[in-house]
Amino acid sequence: MEKILPLLLLCASFQSFADTAYIGVDYVLPEITIDNEDTKPEAAALRLGVSNNNMAFEAQYLTSLSTDNIYNIEFDIDKSIALFFVMQSDVVNGFGLDISLGYAQTDITASGPEQTINGDFQYEGFAWGLAIHQDIPYIDNTQIRLGYQSLYNKDDIEITAIALGFTYQF
C-alpha cells in the first residue's frame, strides 16, 4: 500500500492538467495459474482515470465476487489495487484501443484442509493490459469495454483477467 499511495496522489494531481475524467465498472473473470493448475474466481472492478491528449492515469480496485478451487483448496482474490499509465488511440467509427502499463498489488487468500496451503499471499509487480472500447449510440460519453490484463507473472504464478464493462466520461 505504501507504494500505491504516492501513485494515487500523482493521479489526483494530474487532474489539474486533464481534459477528461472517467469512471468504469467491470465484471471480471480472473484466472490464477499455479504450476499449470487454474482457478477462476469471479470479480468486479472499479476504474477511475483522468486523460489528456490520448494519455491517461488510471487507478483500479478489483475485489472478488466468488471463490474457486484447485484440489479442494479455495482461492479468493481479496483485492487487487493497480495504477496504470494508459495510451489511448483516437476513436475511429466509435471504436478505440487502450494499452495499459503499470503496477499491481494483488492479495489472495488460500484455504483448504489442514495439511494444505492456508493463508494470505500478496503478489505485486509490473502489470499490463489491452482493451478495446466502443461508444454506445444514443448515450453520450458512455462506452462498452472489453479488456485483458496481466496482473502478475513470476515464479510459476500467473494472475490474468478478462473484463467486460462500462466507462462513463465526465
Q: Is 3 exposed, middle or buried (0-12, 13-18, 19+ CB in 10 A)?
A: exposed
Q: Label residue 5 by pLDDT band (50, 70, 90).
A: low
Whole-number Å distance between alpha carbons of 29 and 64: 10
pLDDT digits (tens, 9 = 90+) for 97-152: 999 999 999 998 888 888 877 888 899 999 999 999 999 989 999 999 999 999 99
The answer as to CATH 2.40.160.20 being correct for domain 4-169 is yes
Q: Label residue 14 by pLDDT band (50, 70, 90).
A: very low
Question: Pick from 149, 4, 155: which is nearest to 81 by CA?
Answer: 4
Q: Which of helix, strand or coil describes residue 59?
A: strand
Extents of the domains making up the chain: 4-169
Q: Label residue 76 by pLDDT band (50, 70, 90).
A: confident
Cell of 146: 472489453
Report the amino acid identity of residue 91: V
Whole-number Å distance between alpha carbons of 88 and 99: 7
110 or 62, greater pLDDT: 62
Residue 87, pLDDT > 90, answer yes
Whole-number Å distance between alpha carbons of 60 and 44: 10
